[in-house]
Structure 1
Amino acid sequence: MNWISNVVRPKIRNFLARREVPENLWIKCPDSGQLVFYKDVETNQFVIPGSEYHMRMGAVARLKSVFDGETWFDIAVPEVPIDPLKFRDERRYSDRLKDARAKTSMNDAVKLGYGKLDGMPVVIGVQDFDFMGGSLGMAAGEAVIKGFDTALEKSTPFILFIGSGGARMQEGIFSLMQMPRTTVGVQRLREARLPYIVVLTNPTTGGVTASYAMLGDVHIAEPGALIGFAGPRVIEQTIREKLPEGFQKSEYLREHGMVDMVVHRRELRPLLARMCRILTKAPERVDETAAVVLPAPAEASA
C-alpha cells in the first residue's frame, strides 16, 4: 500500500476542495445593497432588517404568516385547458408552464386557502409573482373566482394578496376575458354583504390593476410597492414629461386617495383580523387564557 498516494493525497485534495455554498445563503437588499443572512430575512417575514425593504413573499410563506397556527385547507381550483392557442415565441408556452410549476410547486399563479384568522373563518388567496410574473391567465382567473365562490359558500371574508405584472400574453383574449369575469365575482360578494379586502404587494400592474385589484372594500398596500396600470417609463415616454418623485409607489397612492393605508408586513395580520371583525360585525375574540378578575366583596354594613 502506497501511504502517500492512497491516504495523504486524498486528505489534501478534500481539504483544498471548494466547498459548495447554497445560492440563497445570503440576500442582497435591492434598496441599500447590504448582504443579509437568508434565515434572518425569512424569520423577519422577508423584510430586510435595517432598511425595512419588503422582499417578495411566496404563496405558502404568505399563507403561513396569516392563518392561525400556520395551518389551512387548500381549496381546489377547476382545471382549465393548457396552452389553448398553442402559443410559441422563443419557447413553447407549455414548456414555460412546466418550468414555472417546477420552480414554485404551484399549479398556477394563485393559491387559495380556507382557515382561521384570529379565530375567524376566512378565505385567503395569494397571487405569486414567482409564477410567470403572477400573470393573469385562465387558471389564475378561475382561482380568483373560486375564492369568491368559496367565501360566498362559507359566508366568510375574502382576503386577496396581489402581486402581478398583468394579463398573460400567451393566452391572448382568454386572458383578457378574466378581467370582466372576476369583476362579476366581486359584485356577487358585494351583494352578499361579505368583505373583500385587497392587499397590494410589489408589483401590482396591468390588467390585474384594471380589474379585481382595485375593487375591494378596503385597499391595503405594503411599503414601497409599485402599483399602477402602465409602468413609469412607458408613461414618461408617452407624455414626455418627468414624473413626480415616488410616482406609483404605495405611499404616493395613499396621499392621492388610491389606497386606504400603507401597512408594514409585521402589522398586517392583526390589522386584517380587526378589519374582518369590524366589517362582519363579529364580536371580539375572548382570551380564554386570561385570568378572571373577581369583583371585590362588598363591605358589610354596620
Structure 2
Amino acid sequence: MTLLSNIKSRKEKVDAHKDTDSIENHLEIPDGLYDKCPQCDYVEETVHFYQNNWICSECNHHLRMHVAARIKLIFDEFNVFNHIIKSKDPLNFPGYQEKLETLSDENGVYDAVVCGEAILANKSVIAVIMDPNFMMGSMGTVVGEKITRAFERAQKQKKPILIFSASGGARMQEGILSLMQMAKISGAVSKFNQSGGLFINVLTDPTTGGVTASFAMLADIILAEPNALIGFAGPRVIRQTMNHDLPEGFQRSEFLLEKGFIDKIVDRTQLKNTLNHLLELHEVK
C-alpha cells in the first residue's frame, strides 16, 4: 500500500456505496462508511470528514489525521527520504514484529513518522510528520533515528524544519532504547539551534510522554491545533499523584496557551497560511 492509498481507499468505499441502489446493499452498511466525532459523538459520512480535512462540522473538533492527508493539506510537493527503515525488534518483544508488519500494511508507512524534503508556497523546508495511527505515534528507535537524521539534513542544507508531532510517548516494546531517543533527538535539536536553524513545531492531538518531554517543546515557534491533548503524564496519573482536582481543560491547547507554553493555536484550515507567513517573516526561500 502506498503512502497516499490509505486516505483514498475509504473515500472509494463511500463512492462505490453511493452508486449502488439495491435495497440489500443499503441495509448492510460497509465498514468505513461513517465516522464519529470523539468530542461530540456526531456521526457523519466518512467522505464528509475527508472533504472537511477531518474536522467535525458540528463542533469543530480536529480529528486525528493520517500522514498522507496531512501532506496533502499542507505541502505543494513532498519527497520522502529515509522512508524504508524498520525496527529490528531489539528486545524480541512477543508479537511486536507481527504488529509492526500489520500496521505497516494498514497505514502504508513503515513506522510512526514520515520525513521529507517539502515545498510550501515555493519555500523549501524539511518536514517531519508523526502518525497517531501507527502505534499511537509512539517513539521507538526508528522514530528517533529518522527525526535525528531530519535535523542533520536540515542543518546541512540550511533549511528550516517543520514537525507535526503526534505521539503517545515512548514505545514500551523497545524499553530503555526508546527512552534514549529523547536525549538523541534533543542533542540534534541543540546542534541545529546552534547553527542558526529555524525549528517550528505543530502540536497535534495527542502529543504526550517522551515527545513532549523532549523535542516537541524545544522549537523556536510552537503552534498547536485546537483542543489537542498535550502533556507528559496522563491526567489520571497526575491527579492521583497530587491528590488534587485538576483545572478544567487541563492539558488542552487552550489551557497551555493561557499559561504560556505554546505561542498560538491555529485552526487546521489556516495552518498552511500561518506557516507560510512565519517562513516569510524569517526570509525563508
Same fold (TM over 0.5): yes
Aligned length: 264
Equivalent residue number for residue 239 of structure 1: 242
AA aligned to 1:192 is: S
Aligned to 1:114: 117
* Residue type at the aligned position of 1:106: V
Q: Which protein shows a greater Rg?
A: 1
Matching residue's letter, 2:71: L
Give the letter for the 1:253 counterpart.
L
SS at 2:114 equivalent: strand
Q: Does the CA-based 8 Å contact 2:42-2:58 persist in structure 1?
A: no
User: Which residue in 2 is equivalent to 1:133?
Assistant: 136
RMSD between aligned alpha carbons?
1.7
C-alpha displacement at 1:147, in angstroms? 1.3
Q: Which residue of 1 aligns with 2:271?
A: 268
Q: Does 1:153 align with 2:175?
A: no
Counterpart Cα distance in 2 of 1:45 and 1:113: 21
Instruction: Confirm or deny: 8 A CA contact 1:78 1:142 kept in the other structure.
Output: no
**Aligned mates of 1:111, 1:184 — CA distance in 2:** 20
Q: Structure 1, residues 76-121: CA drift from partner, whole Å, max 9, x if none?
A: 2574651111112xxx111111111112111100001212111100
The reply on whether 1:225 has 2:228 as its aligned counterpart is yes
Choose from 3, 17, 34 the match for 1:26: 34
Q: How is 1:51-90 mapped onto 2 (pairs within 5 angstroms)? A: 51-68=59-76, 71-77=77-83, 79=85, 81-88=87-94
Deviation for aligned residue 1:194: 1.4
Answer yes or no: is 1:189 the counterpart of 2:197: no
Change over 3 Å in CA distance of 1:128–1:282 after alignment to 2? closer
The equivalent residue for 1:251 is: 254
Aligned to 1:216: 219
Separation (CA, whole Å) in 1 of partners of 2:147 and 2:43: 36
**Aligned counterparts of 2:240 and 2:160: Cα–Cα separation in 1:** 41
Provide structure 2 residue ranges, at least 5 long, that are not aligned to the other structure: 1-21
- Tell me the distance in 1 between the aligned counterparts of 2:38 and 2:86: 37
2:86 touches 2:111 (CA, 8 Å); kept in 1?
Answer: no
Between stretches 230-239 and 17-26, larger displacement belongs to 17-26
Tell me how far 1:143 sits from its aligned partner.
1.1
Q: Distance in 1 between matches of 2:43 and 2:23?
A: 26
TM-score normalised by length of structure 1: 0.83
SS in 2 for 1:94: helix
* Structure-2 residue corresponding to 1:295: none
Q: State yes or no: 1:173 paired with 2:190.
A: no
Q: Aligned residue for 2:50?
A: 42
Q: Could you tell me which residue of structure 1 aligns to residue 3 of structure 2?
A: none
One-letter amino acid of the structure 2 residue matched with residue 117 of structure 1 = L
Q: What CA deviation, in whole Å up to 9, does each residue of 1:44-103 have, x standing for no partner?
A: 1111113101000111110111112xx311112574651111112xxx111111111112
Q: Distance in 2 between matches of 1:132 and 1:80?
A: 14
Deviations 1:166-191 (A, max 9, x none): 00011111111111110011112112
Rounded Cα–Cα distance in structure 2 between residues aligned with 1:143 and 1:78: 10
Distance 2:85 2:58 in 1: 43
For the residue of structure 2 that corresponds to 1:177, the secondary structure is: helix
Asked whether the 8 Å contact 1:75–1:114 carries over to 2, the reply is yes
CA contact 1:72–1:116 (8 Å) conserved in 2: yes
Larger RCO (alpha carbons 8 Å, 6+ apart): 2
2: CA distance, partners of 1:282 / 1:169: 39
